[in-house]
Chains A and B, each alone.
Chain A
Amino acid sequence: MRAMVYRGPYRMRVEEKPMPRIEHPNDAIVKVELAAICGSDLHLYHGMMPDTRVGTTFGHEFIGVVHEVGPSVQRLQPGDRVMVPFNVYCGSCFFCARGLYSNCHNVNPNATAVGGIYGYSHTTGGYDGGQAEYVRVPFADVGPSIIPDWMDDEDAVLLTDALATGYFGAQLADIVEGDVVVVFGAGPVGLYAAKSAWLMGAGRVIVIDHLEYRLEKARSFAHAETYNFMEYDDIVVHMKKITEHIGADVAIDAVGAEADGNFLQHVTSVKLKLQGGSPIALNWAIDSVRKGGTVSVMGAYGPMFSAVKFGDALNKGLTLRMNQCPVKRQWPRLFEHIQNGYLKPNDLVTHRIPLEHIAEAYHIFSAKLDDCIKPLILPNAS
Chain B
Amino acid sequence: MAYTPDKPPLAESTDDLRARIPGWGADLDPKDRPAFPRERFDPDASGAHWTFPERQEPHEDRERSIEHKFVTPAFGTSVGLKGLSGALRRVAYRRYSEGRAAHWLILLAADRVDVLESNVGSFLSLHPDNPFTETGVVSELTHHGLSSRLNRKRADLSHQWIDPVIVSAPWVAGAAVAYSAAKRARALTSQGR
Contact = CB atoms under 8 A, between A and B. Distances in A.
Contact of A108 (B50, B72, B117): B72
Interface of B: 1-3, 7-8, 10-12, 14, 17, 20-28, 30, 32-36, 38-43, 45-54, 56, 59, 62-65, 67-68, 71-79, 85, 89, 93, 98, 101, 104, 107-108, 110-111, 114-115, 117-119, 122, 127, 129-131, 133-140, 142-145, 148, 152-156, 158-160, 162-163, 166-167, 170
Interface stretch (A28-36, A155-163, A310-318, A365-373): A365-373
Given A25-B54, A125-B75, A198-B24, 16 more contacts: A7-B119, A8-B170, A24-B54, A51-B89, A53-B114, A109-B63, A116-B74, A125-B72, A198-B25, A230-B153, A243-B8, A246-B1, A303-B98, A333-B32, A337-B26, A340-B26
24 contacts: A7-B119, A11-B167, A23-B77, A50-B107, A57-B78, A90-B53, A92-B51, A99-B38, A100-B38, A105-B72, A106-B52, A106-B73, A108-B75, A112-B65, A116-B74, A199-B23, A199-B26, A246-B7, A270-B159, A303-B104, A326-B35, A340-B23, A343-B23, A367-B160
Interface in A139-163: 139, 141-142
Contacts of B64: 109-110
A295 B14 CA distance: 24
Contacts of B162: 267, 271
B93 A110 contact: yes
Contact of B54 (A72, A108, A177): A72
A246 B3 CA distance: 8
Contacts of B118: 7-8, 54-55
Nearest to A12: B134
Contacts of A111: 65, 67, 98
B8 to A, nearest CB: 5
A35 to B, nearest CB: 16
Which among A231, A244, A361 has the greatest number of chain B C-beta atoms within 10 A?
A: A244
Contacts of B77: 23, 126
A228 interface: yes
Given A51-B107, A177-B28, A271-B159, A141 B79 contact: no
B48 A52 contact: no
Contact of A98 (B41, B62, B119, B139): B41
Which among A97, A139, A171, A196 has the greatest number of chain B C-beta atoms within 10 A?
A: A97
A172 B33 CA distance: 10
A88 B53 CA distance: 13
B111 A267 contact: no
A204 interface: yes
